[in-house]
C-alpha cells in the first residue's frame, strides 16, 4: 500500500509539472486557429495546394530514383560474339564455336566480378538482341528501359563488316530514345585474343570515318525505317567537322574483350557503372 501511495504522489507531481505545458500548447493552438481564420480562403487553399504539390513532387523524385533501370542491351552484327559474351557475363562459362541467336536471350544476373570486389552490387537484366538485319527491330522493344548499350564488334573480321557495323551503330546513336535519355554506349571490340584482331584504336577511327556523313547519305540509306521514325531521330557530329564519338550527346566508350577467354572485365565495369545504385 505504501508503494502505491508513493506512485500516486509521483504521478500527481508529474501531472502538475506538465500542466503549464498543456496550457501553453492550448494557447498556441488557439492562436494558430485564430490566425488561420484571418487568412482569406483563397490564400489558404493556395498554400495547401502548394504544400500538396511539393509533397507529391518529392515523392515522385524518390520513386523515380528507386525505379532506375537495371537493363543493359548487347547488340551488334550477327556473328560478332554477342551470345558468347552473354553467357560469359551470365555464368562465366566458355562456349566453343559460333552461337547464332534468332530470339533475344534474357537473364537477370549478378556480375561475377562483384563477388570479388568491395562494392555494392544489384541484379542486372542482360538482353542479347539478335544481330540479323531482319530481327533488329526487336531492339526497339528494349531501348525504352535500357540503362546502357554494349555494341559488340568482331575485331577479327572487322574490315569486311566495317560499313554495316557503322551503319547499325549510326542507327542506334541517332535514335531519339537513346539520345534524349543519354544512354551510354560501349563499343566492345570482341575476339581480341586472336593475333590478327584489330585494335580498339583502329576500329574506333575506321568507324568514325564511316559515320562521317556530311551529305546525310547514311541517314538516307537506312532501310526498314519509316519516314516518321527518321524525322524523329537526331543527327551526329558537328557540321563541317570530321566526326568523332566525343561529339555524341551520350557517352561512347571503346574497349577490347574476349568472350571466349573470359576477358570481359571492362565490359562488366561499364555495366556496373550503368546500373550502380
Q: What pLDDT, on a 0 to 100 scale, did the predictor assign at position 115?
A: 46
| Same-domain check for residues 107 and 210 | yes
If asked whether residues 117 and 242 sit together in one domain, one would say yes
pLDDT of residue 93: 75
Residues of the chain with pLDDT below 50 are: 66, 97, 114-116, 223-231
Which residues are paired to 159 by β-bridges? none
- CA 67 from chain centre, in angstroms, equals 11
Same domain assignment for residues 133 and 47: no
Query: Which positions ≥6 away from 146 have C-beta within 8 Å?
Result: 69, 71, 72, 73, 178, 181, 183
Dist. CA 93–CA 128, nearest whole Å? 16
Distance of CA 254 to the CA centre of its chain: 18
Domain boundary among 13, 31, 64: 64
Look at the block and give the residue holding cell 488557439. Answer: 30
Same domain, 182 and 211: yes
Q: Are residues 82 and 124 in the same domain?
A: yes
| Stretch (H or E) spanning 107 | strand 105-109
| 3 state SS of 256 | strand
CA dihedral 203, 204, 210, 211 (to 10 degrees): 150
Residues 172 and 145 in one domain: yes
**The sheet that has 146-154: what strands, in order across it?**
105-109, 124-128, 71-76, 146-154, 185-190, 252-256
CATH number of domain containing 192: 3.40.50.300
Q: What pLDDT shows up at residue 241?
A: 83
Final residue of a structural domain among 48, 64, 80 = 64
Segments forming the whole domain that contains residue 202? 71-275
Q: Which one of 13, 45, 64 terminates a domain?
A: 64
Measure the CA–CA gap between 151 and 264, rounded to whole angstroms.
Answer: 14
Residues 15 and 122 in one domain: no
pTM of the predicted model as reported, rounded to 2 decimal places: 0.71
Q: What is the pLDDT of residue 226?
A: 44
Pair (122, 10) in one structural domain: no
The total domain count for the chain is 2
Q: Which pLDDT score is estimated for 114? A: 47
Q: Do 53 and 148 lie in a common domain?
A: no
CB 156 within 8 A of CB 194: yes
Q: Are residues 42 and 115 in the same domain?
A: no
Question: Does 166 share its domain with 134?
Answer: yes
190, three cell numbers = 570482341
- Tens of pLDDT along 193-248? 999 999 999 999 999 998 876 665 565 555 444 444 444 567 877 877 888 999 99
Would you tell me the crossing angle of helices 200-211 and 158-173 to the nearest 10 degrees? 60
Q: According to the model, what pLDDT value does residue 276 have?
A: 80
Amino acid at each position: 500500500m505504501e508503494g502505491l501511495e508513493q506512485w500516486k504522489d509521483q504521478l500527481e507531481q508529474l501531472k502538475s509539472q506538465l500542466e503549464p505545458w498543456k496550457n501553453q500548447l492550448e494557447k498556441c493552438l488557439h492562436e494558430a486557429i485564430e490566425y488561420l481564420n484571418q487568412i482569406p480562403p483563397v490564400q489558404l487553399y493556395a498554400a495547401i495546394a502548394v504544400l500538396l504539390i511539393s509533397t507529391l513532387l518529392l515523392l515522385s523524385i524518390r520513386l523515380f530514383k528507386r525505379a532506375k533501370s537495371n537493363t543493359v542491351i548487347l547488340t551488334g552484327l550477327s556473328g560478332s560474339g554477342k551470345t558468347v559474351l552473354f553467357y560469359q557475363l551470365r555464368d562465366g562459362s566458355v562456349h566453343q564455336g559460333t552461337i547464332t541467336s534468332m530470339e533475344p536471350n534474357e537473364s537477370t544476373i549478378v556480375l561475377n566480378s562483384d563477388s570479388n570486389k568491395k562494392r555494392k552490387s544489384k541484379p542486372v537484366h542482360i538482353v542479347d538482341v539478335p544481330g540479323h538485319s531482319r530481327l533488329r527491330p526487336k531492339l526497339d522493344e528494349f531501348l525504352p528501359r535500357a540503362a546502357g548499350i554494349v555494341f559488340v564488334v568482331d575485331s577479327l573480321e572487322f574490315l569486311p563488316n566495317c560499313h554495316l557495323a557503322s551503319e547499325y551503330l549510326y542507327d542506334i546513336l541517332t535514335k531519339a530514345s537513346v539520345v534524349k535519355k543519354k544512354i551510354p554506349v560501349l563499343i566492345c571490340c570482341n575476339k581480341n585474343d586472336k593475333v590478327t584482331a584489330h585494335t580498339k584504336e583502329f576500329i574506333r577511327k575506321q568507324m568514325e570515318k564511316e559515320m562521317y556523313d556530311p551529305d546525310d547519305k547514311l541517314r538516307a540509306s537506312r532501310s526498314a525505317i519509316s519516314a516518321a521514325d527518321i524525322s524523329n531521330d537526331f543527327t551526329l557530329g558537328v557540321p563541317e567537322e570530321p566526326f568523332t564519338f566525343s561529339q555524341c550527346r551520350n557517352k561512347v566508350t571503346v574497349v577490347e574483350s574476349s568472350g571466349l577467354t573470359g576477358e570481359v572485365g571492362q565490359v562488366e565495369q561499364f555495366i556496373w557503372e550503368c546500373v550502380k545504385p
